Amino acid sequence: MDSESCRNGRPIRKRVLFPLLLIVFAFGSSALARTVPPNIIVILADDLGYGDVGFNGCQDIPTSNIDSLAANGVRCSNAYATHPFCGPSRAALLSGRYQQRFGFENNPDDDANNPRLGIPSDELLIPQLLEPNGYVCGAIGKWHVGYATNLHPIARGFDSFYGFLSAQSDYFNPTQLLRDRRTSSRLNISQMDSRARQSRLSILTPPNRFSST
């Protein structure tokens, strides 16, 4: 045998063992990937217009993070919502069913005393389906599919919730719900950076068109 290829037996062992190790690691990592469930993130932008994002041609509002998701992920350019406004479309997204199948065709009132004014309790929602498979689920932001305590996010399968239950929230000093406890998020104009503050003040204070020159 060639002395260069079998000197002390080491080169041959390296040539054989290294590819074998690569194969073992490849099979091991693929098996691990099959046993660990993927993270699932659903982002619903309320009342977002087609032309309000950069990847659809918007020039005046920078949406670089959303544009990055579109560029590096899967972009579906032809899709339809199940309803033209907030609550019903959210009910469909959370349940995976057309909202008219369970009578949710209008925005619900903020009536905490009505335990039936929301998604019916016999409808299974996304977190209730994911939890048996080992998922821990959280929701952040607007709920708007039930105001009574039995219809709150925690009661409908979410492990954590930070947001508001009704159709809208005050932009400054909003009262949010952390799990089932109300809390205040204090934000005022003094906490905004100078650039954002000037931008807001320019909107609140229109130029004096009648100034003398």
Query: Catalytic positions, please?
Result: 86, 144
Cβ within 8 Å of residue 107, ≥6 positions away:
85, 86, 87, 88, 144, 167
Could you say which DSSP state residue 28 is in?
Answer: H
Tell the residue number behind the tokens 């498979």, with chain if given: 133
Q: Which residues pair with 139 in a beta bridge?
A: 161
Positive or negative, the CA dihedral 22, 24, 29, 34 is: positive
Could you say which DSSP state residue 186 is in?
Answer: -
User: Measured between alpha carbons, how far is 70 from 63 in angstroms, rounded to an integer?
Assistant: 11
- Burial of residue 114 (CB within 10 Å: 0-12, 13-18, 19+) is middle
Q: Which residues pair with 141 in a beta bridge?
A: 163
User: Measured between alpha carbons, how far is 201 from 197 in angstroms, rounded to an integer?
Assistant: 6
183 SS3 class: strand
